[in-house]
Amino acid sequence: MTSMARGVLDYAGGSGSTASAYAPLTAPPNVSGMTWMNQQAGATKTSNSDGSYSISSPSAGPAQSITHVGTSLHAVPYTIELGCVFSMNLTNHPVIAAGLGITDGTKLVTFWLVGDLTAVTQVGVSQYTNTGTLSLTPRQVSVGSYFSFAQPTFFRIVDDGVNRTFSISNSGRLFLPIYTDTSNNFVTPTRYGPAFQGYSAGPSDLVLIDVFHQKVT
């Protein structure tokens, strides 16, 4: 795919070079086939001319509420990758998370990075019985003590029919495992895609995410 995002990712190789610090990209699907869960007022999804897509959404309202934008997912085994650049307006809302979610249309498992008023601070995995009810956060670690955060961010979920593993990367080449669960635990997903969650009650602020790589095998 040739795009503004691709140009940014190729900077390490220099102009005209075929070298890159990043993995090859797969153009995301058109947003017309994506399904909202808990769409917030004023939220938009837009396919861009460069092959990427953009989501602009107020953070998901009350504490622990989540918004998801889903694309169809086949049964296990599967490997999901989502490459994105995101920004969060945290002027009023103390904590917001954004990342990759899988869902059966009711329950969700989210793989996220959390930002507060100063920086991205944590990475983790959460389970939701519905878009407004957090069931469990089985994995949550400090970014500073676990890996060096930088954008862009690549999220990967691999379910081989035995285990489901959540890994993260800044290059799309080398992935760092964050958490491993048993296959299809809590949810047997039928859709996957970007997810946003509010961790503290308060006025909703804006989450912006540009997805330049989306791949399922």
10-residue stretch averages of pLDDT, the chain, 217 residues long: 44 53 90 92 91 84 79 98 84 73 97 74 90 90 67 94 96 93 97 83 71 96
Task: Indicate whether 112 belongs to any domain.
Answer: yes
Q: 190 in a domain, yes or no?
A: yes
Q: Is residue 175 part of a domain?
A: yes
pLDDT at 114: 80
Q: What is the model's pLDDT at position 84?
A: 93
C-beta separation of 183 from 163 below 8 A: yes
Residue 159 lies in a domain: yes
pLDDT of residue 143: 73
Looking at residue 198, its pLDDT comes to 66
DSSP codes, 127-180: EEEETTEEEEEEEEEEHHHH----SSEEEEEEE-SSEEEEEEESSSSS-EEEEE
How many structural domains does the chain have? 1
Cβ proximity of 111 and 178 under 8 Å: yes
Interatomic CA distance for residues 200 and 197, integer angstroms: 9
> Is 12 among the domain residues?
no
Give the HSE-up count for residue 87: Cα atoms under 13 Å, Cβ half-sphere: 7
Residue 197, domain member (yes or no): yes
Look up the CATH number of the domain holding residue 37: 2.60.120.200
Q: What is the pLDDT of residue 119?
A: 65
Query: What pLDDT, on a 0 to 100 scale, did the predictor assign at position 63?
Result: 63
Provide the 3-class DSSP secondary structure of residue 24: coil
**HEC profile of 41-68:** CCCEEEECCCCCEEEEEECCCCCCCEEE
| Domain hosting residue 32, numbered range | 26-216
Strands 53-58 and 206-216: antiparallel
* Residue in the block written with tokens 């862009």: 152
Q: Distance (Å, rounded) from C-alpha 211 to C-alpha 179?
A: 23
List CB contacts of 67: < 8 A, sequence separation 6 or more: 36, 37, 38, 39, 40, 43, 57, 60, 131, 195, 196, 197
Answer yes or no: is 171 within a domain: yes
Inside any domain, residue 18: no
